[in-house]
Amino acid sequence: MPITEILDRNVREYPDDICLVEINPEVKEVRRVTWKEYELMEPNPTTHYRREITWHVMNEKANRFANLLISRGIKKGDKVAILLMNCLEWLPIYFGILKTGALAVPLNFRYAPDEIEYCVKIADVDILVFGPEFIGRVEEIADNISKNRLLFYVGDNCPTFAEDYAAMTANCSSLSPDIKLTDSDDAAIYFSSGTTGFPKAILHNHESLMHSCKVEQNHHGQSKDDVFLCIPPLYHTGAKMHWFGSLLSGSKAILLKGTKPEYILEAVSKEKCTIVWLLVPWAQDILEAIDSGKVKLSDYELDQWRLMHIGAQPVPPSLIKRWKDYFPNHQYDTNYGLSESIGPGCVHLGVDNIHKVGAIGKAGYGWETKIVDENGNTVNRGEVGELCVKGPGVMTCYYHDKKATDEVLKGDWLFTGDMAEEDEDGFIFLVDRKKDVIISGGENIYPVQIEDFIRTNNAVHDVAVIGLPDKRLGEITCAVIEVKENHLLTEEEVDEFCMKLPRYKRPRKIIFADIPRNPTGKIEKPRLREMYAGGSVVDAQNRG
C-alpha cells in the first residue's frame, strides 16, 4: 500500500486532530500561538513561536501542492527537490509530491551551492522548492539550474528569480488528484551523507517507505495518544521515517527548531511529549546541563516521557548509564539504519534489552542480517566482519550509478560497509566503518572501541579516533578530544587513563579540539583526517 493512503485514512478518521506542531524558541515574536496560549507562555513569552495544523489541513495543503505540480506538467516519475528547514510546510509538500506520482528529493540544509547544483542535476530534478535560509545559495546557481527547471519559494518576500509557493497554491484545488500508485513505484531519492565526496543518490520505492512505517511502530509501539518530539532535519531518512510511526498511529508530532537542553525539556513538558529521538551530542548536552545546574528537572513536567531513543551513530554505553541515573523510568532503544535501508532501524536494540547497551541489537521487524568476511562467507560469532542486511526497505539502487550499486547490492543483500561482530546471544555490536579501520603494524584497530573507553573519562565531552600516516607502522592512532566546559585535561592525564587499554590500542597522538559532526550527529572523520593528517607522514612517538 502506498504511504499516501495512510494520510488519506487519517483524514477520514481524525480530520480535526492536531497532527503537526512547529515550535521555534529562538524567534523573538509572539504570533500564531494557540493551545491555551502555549500554556500561558511561561516562563518567557517573548521567545515563543508556535504553529499547528490538523490532519485535514495537512492533506488539503498536500492536495493543493500536488495539483499545482500537475498544472506545471509534473507527472509520474518526475522529481521535485525540497530544500527547507524543518517547518509545517515540509511534510505537506513531501506528500503533495508523492500524490502526483513524482519522486520527492529531500536535500541537506548544509549543502553548499555546488552540492545543491550537483544533487539537482544527478537526480534529474524538475522543480526545486526552497526556503528563505537558502536564497543566497540558490541565487548563486540559479542561472545554472533554472533552465528547464522551476524554482518555488516557501516564505515571505519571494525573490525575483523564483515563484511564490503560497500565492500559487492558494487557488489550486484541495481535492486529491486521481493518480494510481503501486508499491513498486519509485517514491523518493535520498542522498548519502557525502562524507567521502559528493553524495550518492539513493532510490526508494513506495514499499520501502511503507515498510518504514511498520518498522517504527513495531519497534516503539506508537499509539494515538503518543506525542513524538522531532528535532533532527526532515530531509534525513531517520527523522522523517521515525515520524512515519506517528503517521501510522495518527498521533501528534512536534517539530522543534533548536537543540538547547532547555528548549528540548520545555517542549517535552508543555507539549506532553512521550517519545523523543535524540542524537548523541544533544543527549550529552542535556546531561551536562543537569550536572552543572543550568537546568533543573523539577522545573518541567516529564512524567509522561516514556521513551528516549538514539540513532544515526554509535552510542557510548557510558552515556546511557548516566541517562538512566537521571531518568530511571525511561525506556531506551537504539536504532541502526542507513539511508540505503530506511531510517527507523534495520537493526535495533529493543526496549527490553537495556542490559545489552553498547550493542546495536538484532535484526529489526521484517529484516534479516548476516556478518561476512572479505569473501562473502558468514563469519563465526565473535568474529569481526561486514554487516549485511536484507528486507523490504533496501534501496532500489544508487540512481544513475550502476557501478556503486553493484558494489553494495549483491542479490537481495545490502553490504553496509560497517564492521560488526555478534555475541553469544545474537546481539550485534558495531565495531567501526570499514573505511575507518586503522591498520597499525599489521594490527586492525577499531576506533569506536577506543572512543567508547575514552568517553568514560568525566572530563571528556566528545572524542574521535582517527588514523594518521606513519613511516614505520603505516598508521598510528590519534585521539581528538573535546573537553567539557569548565574542565581541564592534559595529554599526560589521557595517557595515564588509557593505560587500561591494550598497548596496541592506546592513542599515539593526542589532540585537544572540537569534534565536527554532521546534522545527523555522525563524526566527520574525513574532515578530521584532512585537518590533522594533511597527507603527510609522521613518525610515531614511543609512548606507553
pLDDT at 256 (0 to 100): 95
Counting residues of the chain whose pLDDT is more than 70, the rounded percentage is: 91
Residues 112 and 258 in one domain: yes
Q: Which residues contact 147 (CB under 8 A, 6 or more apart)?
A: none
The Cα–Cα gap between 531 and 260 comes to 28
Higher pLDDT, 534 or 266: 266
pLDDT(442) > 70: no
Q: Are strands 307-311 and 413-422 parallel, antiparallel or unpaired?
A: unpaired
Residues 210 and 75 in one domain: yes
Type of residue found at 365: Y
The Cα–Cα gap between 10 and 12 comes to 5
Query: 333, 219 in Cβ contact below 8 A?
Result: yes
pLDDT at 44 (0 to 100): 46
Counting residues of the chain whose pLDDT is more than 90, the rounded percentage is: 65
> Is 14 inside any structural domain?
yes
> Is 134 inside any structural domain?
yes
In degrees to the nearest 10, what's the CA dihedral of 478, 482, 488, 493?
-20
The Cα–Cα gap between 432 and 252 comes to 36
Higher pLDDT, 435 or 463: 463
Higher pLDDT, 334 or 437: 334
- CATH code: domain of residue 472: 3.30.300.30
Q: How far apart are the first and last CA of the chain?
A: 60
457-472 mean pLDDT: 86
pLDDT(243) > 50: yes
Confidence of residue 170 (pLDDT cuts 50, 70, 90): very high
Q: What angle do CA 300, 306, 309 make, to 5 degrees?
A: 105
Query: Could you report the per-residue pLDDT of 385-428, keeping only the tens digit for each?
Result: 999 999 999 999 999 999 999 999 999 999 998 889 999 999 99
Range of the domain at 490: 437-532
- CATH code: domain of residue 85: 3.40.50.12780
pLDDT at 193 (0 to 100): 65
DSSP secondary structure letters along 166-226: HHHHHTS--SPP-----TTSEEEEEE---TTSSPPEEEEEHHHHHHHHHHHHHHH---TT-
> Is 395 inside any structural domain?
no
Q: What is the mean pLDDT of the chain?
A: 88
Helix pair angle (261-271, 280-292), 10° resolution: 90
pLDDT at 33 (0 to 100): 47
Residues 90 and 221 in one domain: yes
> Is 115 inside any structural domain?
yes
Confidence of residue 534 (pLDDT cuts 50, 70, 90): low
Confidence of residue 158 (pLDDT cuts 50, 70, 90): very high
pLDDT at 472 (0 to 100): 65
Check the CA dihedral 375-380-384-390 and report its sign.
positive
The Cα–Cα gap between 150 and 143 comes to 11
> Is 392 inside any structural domain?
no
55-84 mean pLDDT: 97
The Cα–Cα gap between 219 and 487 comes to 38
> Is 409 inside any structural domain?
no
Query: Could you report the per-residue pLDDT of 301-343, keeping only the tens digit for each?
Result: 999 999 999 876 667 788 899 999 999 999 999 888 888 998 7
pLDDT(448) > 50: yes
**Considering the entire predicted model, what is its pTM?**
0.81
pLDDT at 29 (0 to 100): 52
**CA atoms lying within 13 Å on the CB side of residue 259:** 16
Q: Among 293, 326, 359, give the residue marking a domain's end.
A: 326
Query: Could you report the per-residue pLDDT of 269-289, keeping only the tens digit for each?
Result: 999 999 999 888 889 889 999
Residues 457 and 312 in one domain: no
pLDDT at 48 (0 to 100): 60
Q: Among 262, 292, 326, give the residue marking a domain's end.
A: 326
Edge-to-edge strand ranges of the sheet holding 50-54: 50-54, 18-23, 252-256, 227-230, 275-278, 307-311, 331-336, 347-348, 362-363
pLDDT(66) > 90: yes
Residues 315 and 447 in one domain: no
Q: Residue 509, Cβ neighbours under 10 Å: how many? A: 18
Least confident among 124-138, 349-363, 523-537 = 523-537
Q: Are strands 127-130 and 163-164 parallel, antiparallel or unpaired?
A: unpaired
Query: Could you report the per-residue pLDDT of 79-100, keeping only the tens digit for each?
Result: 999 999 999 999 999 999 999 9
- Number of domains comprising the chain: 2
Q: Residue 41, Cβ neighbours under 10 Å: how many? A: 16
Q: Among 267, 295, 326, give the residue marking a domain's end.
A: 326
- The separation between CA 74 and the C-alpha centre of its own chain, rounded to angstroms, equals 29
511-534 mean pLDDT: 81
The Cα–Cα gap between 383 and 279 comes to 29
Confidence of residue 43 (pLDDT cuts 50, 70, 90): very low
> Is 170 inside any structural domain?
yes
> Is 350 inside any structural domain?
no
Least confident among 217-221, 282-286, 470-474, 503-507 = 470-474
